[in-house]
């Protein structure tokens, strides 16, 4: 008999032990109680490299229960290798169901996007964060950063935004736009485009941000103000839908809009497409442009 044979046969090999999950849940509760405050947590080694969603993964593993349905997507795509790997890992570790449809999911783990669908109060958005410190670009000293957050002294951030505006005519910050949460703490909104910032304001759902490498968790509780930092006479603007998705449904200034990404083609040209692939597919099915039976299943075990 080998050591492996002696181990109790378990259906799911949990990636994170129960006491680690409890510690993460305690950090989450603190984060919800103090919106926007970065709560330190003992980030564990995960079977994915730090920087590849290890923070989001730990958070999702800590909050899911047997009845949860999990969606993991990356850059708006469910089929990406990183998203598919994380989804499979969560499914095997916790025995939960997974989906690509955000309407069916109770926990949605993401990097780079918030689903185009309006999320509900019974859903939790888990965002993978590479750099949780919004002031990193203007201050390197950790003690000084702590003081700035504690005193709500965001003057260096304002100066940096002003310099950007003077130099470039517009605020060039595109992803991870700094926002004031609940009128108190400035947060980095992960690498989501500006397009995804307005849905976080007074949202019905809970947003949890987790950075595995930097060991920080922060939260936007439901119905909390999320204000992008901008000047009174310089309104915050989302990216313009200037292109037409290859689905043909998203038209600039039309009723149906979604965040567009440029996809380079082999001949050097490029086409534009909806970044949220699941949303785009459903729109095409609804418009009768796509036969639902022709959709390739992305829920495969790689």
Nearer CB in complex with Zn ion: 171/247: 247
Strands 216-220 and 226-228 turn out to be: unpaired
Q: Which of 193, 175, 198 is nearest to 276 (CA)?
A: 193
- What secondary structure does DSSP assign to 155-175, as a single string? HHHHHHHHHHHHHHSS----B
Q: Please report how close the Cβ of residue 98 comes to Zn ion at its closest, in angstroms.
A: 23
Q: Please report how close the Cβ of residue 50 comes to Zn ion at its closest, in angstroms.
A: 33
CA-CA distance, 203 to 190, in Å (whole number)? 17
**What are the backbone angles phi and psi of residue 148, rounded to the nearest 5°?**
-60, -45
Q: Please report how close the Cβ of residue 277 comes to Zn ion at its closest, in angstroms.
A: 8
Question: Active-site positions?
Answer: 36, 245, 247, 274, 280
Nearer CB in complex with Zn ion: 125/245: 245
Q: Please report how close the Cβ of residue 273 comes to Zn ion at its closest, in angstroms.
A: 6
CB 136 within 8 A of CB 142: no
Residue 73 burial by Cβ neighbours in a 10 Å radius (0-12, 13-18, 19+): buried
CB 36 within 8 A of CB 187: yes
Nearer CB in complex with Zn ion: 41/279: 279
Query: Residues in the site for Zn ion, rule: CB under 5 A?
Result: 245, 247, 274, 280
The two three-digit tokens of residue 300, written as one number: 């495969």
Nearer CB in complex with Zn ion: 89/274: 274
């Amino acid at each position: 008999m080998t050591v492996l044979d002696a181990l109790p046969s378990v259906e799911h090999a949990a990636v994170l032990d129960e006491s680690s999950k409890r510690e993460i849940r305690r950090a989450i509760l603190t984060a919800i109680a103090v919106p926007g405050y970065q709560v330190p947590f003992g980030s564990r080694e995960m079977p994915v490299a730090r920087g590849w969603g290890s923070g989001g993964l730990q958070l999702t593993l800590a909050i899911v229960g047997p009845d949860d349905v999990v969606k993991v997507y990356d850059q708006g795509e469910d089929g990406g290798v990183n998203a598919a790997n994380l989804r499979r890992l969560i499914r095997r570790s916790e025995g939960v169901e997974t989906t690509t449809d955000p309407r069916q999911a109770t926990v949605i783990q993401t990097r780079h996007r918030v689903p185009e669908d309006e999320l509900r109060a019974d859903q939790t958005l888990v965002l993978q964060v590479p750099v949780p410190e919004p002031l990193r670009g203007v201050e390197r000293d950790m003690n000084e950063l702590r003081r700035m957050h504690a005193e709500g002294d965001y003057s260096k951030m304002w100066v940096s935004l002003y310099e950007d505006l003077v130099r470039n005519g517009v605020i060039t910050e595109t992803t991870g736009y700094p926002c004031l949460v609940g009128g108190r703490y400035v947060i980095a909104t992960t690498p989501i485009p500006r397009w995804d910032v307005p849905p976080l304001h007074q949202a019905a759902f809970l947003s949890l941000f987790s950075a595995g490498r930097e060991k920080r968790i922060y939260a936007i509780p439901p119905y909390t103000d999320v204000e992008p930092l901008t000047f009174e006479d310089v309104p915050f603007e989302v990216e313009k839908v200037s292109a037409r998705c290859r689905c043909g449904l998203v038209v600039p200034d039309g009723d149906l809009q979604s965040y567009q990404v440029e996809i380079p083609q082999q001949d050097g040209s490029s086409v534009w497409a909806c970044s949220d692939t699941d949303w785009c597919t459903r729109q095409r099915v609804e418009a009768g442009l796509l036969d639902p039976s022709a959709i390739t299943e992305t829920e495969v075990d790689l």
